[in-house]
Structure 1
Amino acid sequence: MIRAGREAVTSDDVASAHGFVSLRAAKRAGLFDVSTLPPPINRRGGKGRGNKALYDALQVYAHAAGEQVPELPTADHPDDLLDLREAADAWGISPVTWQYYLNTRPHLVPGPVEVGGVLHWRRGDLEAFDRPGRGTGAGRPAGMRDAQPRRRRGQIQAQVLLVLAEGPRNGNQLAEEIAHRSAGPKPTSLHATLAKLREAGLLDSDAQGRTRIYCLTDAGQTRALELRGASAEQRDP
């Protein structure tokens, strides 16, 4: 996270600030193994433009000059810049879902700002944005009550389609989201429901390590839109 009023620099900038002619030379000299070097301000991992280390400029230049390294601000501010994982956390969704929005439905997330080759989102924009799941077309399928001790199979299928219309999920994420929306327990027949929807050609899945991620096919997207439309008609006759 790049705190409001602060600037971020790359690993190349860190090397240059400490007098090295290249990043390779700095690494060979062990600069990034020095215990007093300020740590990166972003969480690294995965692939793509979120995998570059960024450092706080004031901290880096103070360290290079042999001065006391200033602390990072701790209070949240609307002008804070959050990386992909932090933005996903702020919305309570997984980084996989956020990346899905960014790649296939960029209108569902605020516009990013690129700093040092890493995409960021302004905290204030995240808080003000009309995020997926809010407003018309989101929420529970038509006919659902606030609490239901038992769900019919068709209701679970509808819930699965509506949740996956907002982005990919694994089985546990699906169960938790359905339980949250219906204010009830997690569905017990989810595995069988997913199998039936897959057989019907409405969803697909992809194994990522020990986790299987589910997403809608084109036919599934069409069916989800039909469910949303039916829900809207019942709410606004």
Structure 2
Amino acid sequence: MIRAGCLDRVRTVADLARDQGVSLSKYTKDKPHLKLGFPEPISSAGSRIRLYDADQVAAYLAGLPVPGLPAAGDDQDLLDRREAAALIGVTVASWDVYRNRPPLAEHRTVAGGVEHWPRAVILAFHANAGRKKGGRPKGSGDMVPRDQLHDRVRPFLDADPAVGSAHIADALGVDRDVAQRALIHLRARRIADLLDHDPDLTPEQAADALGYPPIARRAALAQAAVELRARTATAYLTGITAALHTAGLTATDQPPAVEQKDAALRAAIPLEHPTARALVWEEQTGWRTATRRRHPYTDPTTHPLLTGNTHPTSAELLAAIRS
């Protein structure tokens, strides 16, 4: 619970590491916040993201008596989902349904990546429950265009790293499998971003720091590995595309989009060439030409590989194309 007037004092484990001048990987490895005497989290018991009071932590680090928190019970206390559910005597699953209804949605505050609501708003909502019907009417088919899906799902993941696909599907009116795929890809990108920022972290530590529940980690970690390979591939393809553009073999100087086919990666660069319309790179086999730009990924056996390795230099690839 965040006591009334203390919102600006909320700190996450990542904040504690930064404030103490150490990397998140070292902090999560040493775990100074779990040592005897360290101030207790202000987040509810069982929360995946631990939140702390900055004034209490500062006093502890300075060797001073740790001050108490303001008394609970103020109307402006901010409660997380577990505390809100307990306050009105419902399950957390029920609260997850209520949380997007007015006025709860309008008064939601995100602190440290965790949703909170004012005590007074929770009690007022509970007092009015049953006086009128609410909820979202069921839709047919996906109500969100695929190209907008990640943008629509992202705020849910910002608010609750443990959000499930069932909640996303109900809130956005999409198929549950569609919601699940979006969550996997968004979690994977955030794991990859954190690993890029702090290479000392393991993927599991990154997932833990982001608050992802064990049930969601396996798929997200597997996809994060693909995401990191795709970023490396994009850097490689950027150099190849630049060389092809300079040589007049392609009209574009922008690297191609890296696609995922099952667990492997591939990309295609349009060519300005009398016999080849595209240049195809596949992670597991390397480079070959294609006779079509629109659908370049034909049977690999119909077009021989240009080089004997998957990542030739631009000079080696240019020589192979011209030969």
Q: TM-score, normalised by structure 2?
A: 0.37
Structure whose alpha-carbon radius of gyration is higher: 2
Q: TM-score, normalised by structure 1?
A: 0.50
